[in-house]
């Protein structure tokens, strides 16, 4: 039976009706707040391409973490800018490394907040790539297996520091498996792995690289991050991470890859996250600032679309603002 019996507009006629039939409801509990930590004391350095975000020091990062907890945002993910970088990314697995210290401070201040460790080396290497680099006449490559040794070491160091979840994002083959083994072998059987299973080589990471001071000094990341054109490859990547022991899967970026997110969620059934990355945030902020789009409505629409596509939770730089908007 069609029109005139069927009139879909009947259910859109009032705010009450619309609320009753709404299929996707965003809440602050859907968000994870990314935070950047740098050395020093009393720091709050604005990040130009990410208005409203700052590089914090260990003492000040506790502020936004508390704010997240207060607003009902259940988790934060920490990124570190170490005081010195080297070819072996020593700062990533130092006992008193920048994120290790930040995690201890945040857990002490907010014991119930879930603190996630991003496990990657681009912030810690002097060349800005996500692992050990092998250079030869043909160019350079990320040396996969030696990088895995550092991955294992870093995971243990992060779990020792009190991180609740380890999230490998370097796209080294086999990283989830070595992390599971290293955590299990060091008394951290119960620390879950959130695998950045599907991570594209994306222009949307631009602002992050300013924030984390991690742009590659030569070449790009297309030798290890995925080609934006590929969908089936994403499912193969996710399948490998499931097999290696991932507890949760992530797709990154979010908005330009909703098809992939939806397929990963359907196919594997694990808790699935999306990373709405720095460029997604910067676009919405910039258009809002110019008066070209309404920032609040646009941001909430983007986040709703990510949830509708299948995300159980999402990493977003709008976490605090969106939590406030939803609470109001």
Rg from Cα positions in the chain: 20
Gap between the Cα atoms of 280 and 318, Å rounded: 10
Check 85, 199, 285, 307 and give the catalytic one: 199
9's tokens: 């507009």
The footprint of ligand PBG on residues 211-230 (CB under 6 A) is 214, 221
Question: How many residues at the interface with ligand PBG, by CB under 6 A?
Answer: 11
- The span of 36-44, 92-100, 114-122, 228-236 binding ligand PBG (CB under 6 A) equals 114-122
Nearer to ligand PBG by C-beta: 122 or 161? 122
Tell me: does residue 132 bind ligand PBG (CB under 6 A): no
Tell me: does residue 154 bind ligand PBG (CB under 6 A): no
79 phi, psi to nearest 5 deg: -120, 140
Query: Of 117, 305, 116, 277, which Cα lies nearest the Cα of 201?
Result: 277
Q: Which of 26, 278, 295, 299 binds ligand PBG (CB under 6 A)?
A: 278
Distance (Å) of CA 280 to CA 64, 257, 259, 287: 21, 12, 16, 11
In contact, 198 and 158? CB cutoff 8 Å: no
Q: Which of 93, 163, 205, 257 binds ligand PBG (CB under 6 A)?
A: 205
Q: Which of 36, 208, 257, 313 binds ligand PBG (CB under 6 A)?
A: 208
233 phi, psi to nearest 5 deg: -60, -35
Active site residue 307: no
Q: Is 291 exposed, middle or buried (0-12, 13-18, 19+ CB in 10 A)?
A: exposed
Tell me: does residue 169 bind ligand PBG (CB under 6 A): yes
Tell me: does residue 98 bind ligand PBG (CB under 6 A): no
Nearer to ligand PBG by C-beta: 16 or 251? 251
Pairing of strands 313-316, 31-37: parallel
Helical (H) or strand (E) element with 250: strand 248-252
Active site residue 199: yes
The footprint of ligand PBG on residues 173-192 (CB under 6 A) is none
Shortest Cβ distance from residue 198 to ligand PBG (Å)? 13
DSSP labels for 211-222? HTT---SSS-ST
Shortest Cβ distance from residue 211 to ligand PBG (Å)? 8
Q: How many CB atoms lie within 10 A of CB 3?
A: 7
Q: Which of 104, 209, 296, 324 binds ligand PBG (CB under 6 A)?
A: 209
Q: Is 246 exposed, middle or buried (0-12, 13-18, 19+ CB in 10 A)?
A: buried
DSSP secondary structure code for residue 89 in this structure: -
Nearer to ligand PBG by C-beta: 120 or 270? 120
In contact, 231 and 264? CB cutoff 8 Å: no
Shortest Cβ distance from residue 306 to ligand PBG (Å)? 14
Gap between the Cα atoms of 95 and 62, Å rounded: 20
Shortest Cβ distance from residue 41 to ligand PBG (Å)? 25
Tell me: does residue 120 bind ligand PBG (CB under 6 A): yes
Shortest Cβ distance from residue 11 to ligand PBG (Å)? 37
172's tokens: 């080294």
Shortest Cβ distance from residue 281 to ligand PBG (Å)? 7
Check 252, 285, 289, 296 and give the catalytic one: 252
Shortest Cβ distance from residue 15 to ligand PBG (Å)? 34
Catalytic residues: 199, 252
Contact set with ligand PBG (CB under 6 A): 118, 120, 122, 169, 205, 208-209, 214, 221, 277-278
């Amino acid at each position: 039976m069609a029109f005139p019996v069927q009139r879909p507009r009947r259910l859109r006629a009032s705010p009450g009706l619309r609320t009753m039939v709404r299929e996707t409801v965003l809440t602050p509990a859907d968000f994870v707040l990314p935070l950047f930590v740098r050395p020093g004391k009393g720091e709050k350095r604005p990040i130009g391409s990410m208005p409203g975000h700052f590089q914090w020091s260990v003492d000040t990062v506790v502020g936004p973490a508390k704010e997240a907890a207060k607003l009902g945002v259940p988790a934060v993910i920490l990124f570190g800018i170490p005081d010195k970088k080297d070819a072996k990314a020593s700062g990533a697995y130092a006992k008193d490394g920048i994120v290790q210290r930040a995690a201890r401070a945040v857990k002490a201040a907010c014991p119930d907040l879930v603190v996630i460790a991003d496990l990657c080396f681009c912030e810690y290497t002097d060349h800005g790539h996500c692992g050990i680099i092998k250079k030869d006449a043909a160019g350079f490559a990320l040396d996969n297996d030696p990088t895995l040794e550092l991955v294992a070491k870093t995971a243990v160091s992060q779990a020792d520091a009190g991180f609740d979840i380890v999230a490998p994002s370097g796209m080294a083959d086999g990283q989830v498996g070595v992390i599971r083994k290293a955590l299990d072998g060091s008394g951290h059987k119960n620390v879950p792995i959130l695998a950045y299973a599907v991570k594209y080589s994306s222009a949307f990471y631009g602002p992050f690289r300013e924030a984390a001071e991690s742009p590659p000094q030569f070449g790009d990341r297309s030798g290890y991050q995925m080609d934006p054109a590929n969908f089936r490859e994403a499912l193969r990547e996710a399948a490998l991470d499931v097999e290696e022991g991932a507890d949760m899967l992530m797709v990154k970026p979010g908005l330009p890859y909703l098809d992939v997110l939806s397929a990963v969620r359907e196919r594997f059934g694990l808790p699935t996250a999306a990373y709405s990355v720095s460029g997604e945030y910067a676009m919405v902020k910039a258009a809002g600032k110019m008066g070209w789009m309404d920032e609040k409505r646009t941001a909430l629409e983007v986040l709703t679309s990510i949830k509708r596509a299948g995300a159980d939770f999402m990493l977003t730089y709008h976490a605090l603002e969106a939590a406030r908007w939803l609470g109001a």
